[in-house]
Amino acid sequence: MMKLLTGTGLRWLWLAVVTIVLDQLAKHFIMQHIPYGHGVIMTPFFNLVHVYNTGAAFSFLANAEGWQRWLFSGLAVAISGLLVIALAKAPAKCSLSNLAYSLVIGGAIGNLVDRMLYGHVVDFLDFHWHELYHFAAFNVADMAISCGAALIILDGFIKKPANK
């Protein structure tokens, strides 16, 4: 068992755990210090807010009748499971794919925790331009998923030596 953890990409799961912990600590801080629906102006282009998202990215399916909670929870479990299998098959070395998979797993589980505990995801990072154009509010888990997905795409473009 120990060989499996140290000799494969599974040793990168520490990054997923760190991502989950940072995400949940940030959300807890926001829920304790900013009332729901309110925000704190931080800069001319950034606010900390306390909002909920019952959907997925950019509030996709947020207005559905509640079934989306289970759909997105199931997807998070399935995708995380597939990525854990990929990590178990990957060499332990530092690689872009191991880093990417761990970030996606951590982000998916971070948002899964919210869906299971609250029925929605807590978002709090609000970037905007002159109060006119707001990017969808997001959180640490969303950042991890986005960065991980970008790294997976980047890794696909990098030439790898052929196995002999």
Judge whether 78 lies within some domain: yes
What are the pLDDT digits (tens) for 56-98?
Answer: 665 555 555 656 678 878 999 999 999 999 999 988 887 899 9
The residue segments making up the domain with residue 89 are 14-38+48-157
Residue 79 covered by a domain: yes
The reply to whether 105 falls in a domain is yes
- Using H for helix, E for strand and C for coil, what is the string for 31-97? HHHCCCCCEEEEECCEEEEEEEECCCHHHCCCCCCCHHHHHHHHHHHHHHHHHHHHHHHCECCCCHH
Sign of CA dihedral 39, 136, 70, 28: negative
In a domain, 143, yes or no: yes
163 within domain boundaries? no
Structural domain count, the chain:
1
Answer yes or no: is 127 within a domain. yes
Instruction: Quote the pTM value.
Output: 0.87
Q: Which residues are identified as catalytic? A: 123, 142
Summary mean pLDDT of the chain:
88
pLDDT band for position 164 (cuts 50, 70, 90): low
DSSP secondary-structure letter at 10? G
